[in-house]
Amino acid sequence: MLTKNLSVDFERLLTLMMQLVQSQAGQQIPTSQFWMNDAQVLARKFCNHLASLRLIAQPIEIDIAGYGFDRHIDHSSVMILARAALETYLTFAYIYGSKDAHVRQFRHLIWRRAGLLDRQEYPARESEHQQKLADEKATIDQLQIEIEAHGVWQQYSDSVRKRVLKGEWRAGQSWVEVGVAAGFHPVYIRNVYSFLCGYAHSSWLSILQIRDAKALNIQEAMAARFVSAALVFMSFFAQSYVGLFPQAAAVLTNSPEAANLAKKWHLTADRLSTQYGAAN
């Protein structure tokens, strides 16, 4: 039900994303650089969200034992997946987007430690799970030693250091601030992210829009808006990814049509300045 051009663009860009990720298959990673492997996992997570988003942007009908819903498009779930994809890209941009390899490695350290800290809060009843948490606590302590000895740590203020040690791996930056640093126009990223959060958090306005979107064509229009946004997210991810991996850059060189499509949807702050005003 999405327009043909939008569907074609989405499939081509998603194919490009998968080709970029696959370009790293079989590449040997030195032990000292093994932390870079998580970039691949983030890229896979990003592609999975987008593939699922595209699937549920199509009309479906639910009928289980005579109960269910008539033909509809689950546009609210499209938006929830769009938010997940956006946050995955922003995580990638924050951790791996710096041109300085020392900054990338440092941010990965605090991101990894923060994730392990999160799991320390989960209850563990089985002895094997309790042992796992104990082992990970030792890893957390070792990571803190590495973090505090890292040169980038010295650039942080005392207040930011406290937040990082509590597990705030973005060092106090909001998702919108990370998006602006990644190249999004501040008005665009703020509007898109806040709207998507409304659906993920079941804002009353999201309930109002679901209630009022009774016709299939309205549901289609709601879904199409964020299928388009997902194209923008993919273009940003592609740009970041090829900047990190030379093999991926070669994929773009050998796929000029896909490369041009990625450029078309790469709506940077400069390109949106006529619509939203100067970013600064």
H helices, E strands: number in the chain: 13, 2
pLDDT in tens, 23-77: 887 777 767 678 888 999 999 999 999 999 999 998 888 877 877 777 888 888 9
Percent of the chain residues topping a pLDDT of 90:
64
pLDDT in tens, 159-200: 999 999 999 999 999 999 999 999 999 999 999 999 999 888
Is it the case that residue 1 has pLDDT exceeding 70? no
CA 258 and chain centroid, separation: 21
With beta carbons less than 8 A apart as the criterion, state whether 90 and 178 touch: yes
What pTM does this model have? 0.92
With beta carbons less than 8 A apart as the criterion, state whether 37 and 112 touch: no
Confidence category of residue 79, pLDDT binned at 50, 70, 90: very high
What pLDDT, on a 0 to 100 scale, did the predictor assign at position 33? 75
